[in-house]
Amino acid sequence: MLVAGIVLGLIALAIYALARTSTVTRGTGTSLRRTASSHVNVNGSPKRAYPTMEAAREVARQQSASTSQTMSAYKCGTCKNFHIGHS
């Protein structure tokens, strides 16, 4: 049963590596991280900025109505304007 032992060892190693990777990913938090409350889109380009929360909320409301996704407005910590994103 030596082969089975090696396979189990590799599986345990893979689970360990995955757990470490996800922990590291969660630990990193900057204003440039690509989440719903980010300054950049998933492709890395800056999001459209709105000068007021009211303007951003209005666009978010319209986009939520025209798509099946719920959008929300938030204040950006990077440029101090307002963006909209998935919530």
CB closest to Zn ion, residue no: 76
Q: Nearest-5° angle of CA 78, CA 39, CA 27?
A: 85
**What is d(CA 55, CA 80) in angstroms, rounded to the nearest whole number?**
14
Q: Which stretch binds Zn ion (CB under 5 A): 4-12, 34-42, 54-62, 67-75?
A: 34-42
Phi, psi of 55, deg, nearest 5? -65, -45
Give the residue ranges of DSSP H helices in 1-87.
2-27, 53-66
- Give min distance, CB of 83 to Zn ion, in A: 6
CB of 81 to Zn ion, least distance (A): 6
63 binds Zn ion (CB under 5 A): no
**Binding site residues, Zn ion, CB under 5 A:** 39, 76, 78-79
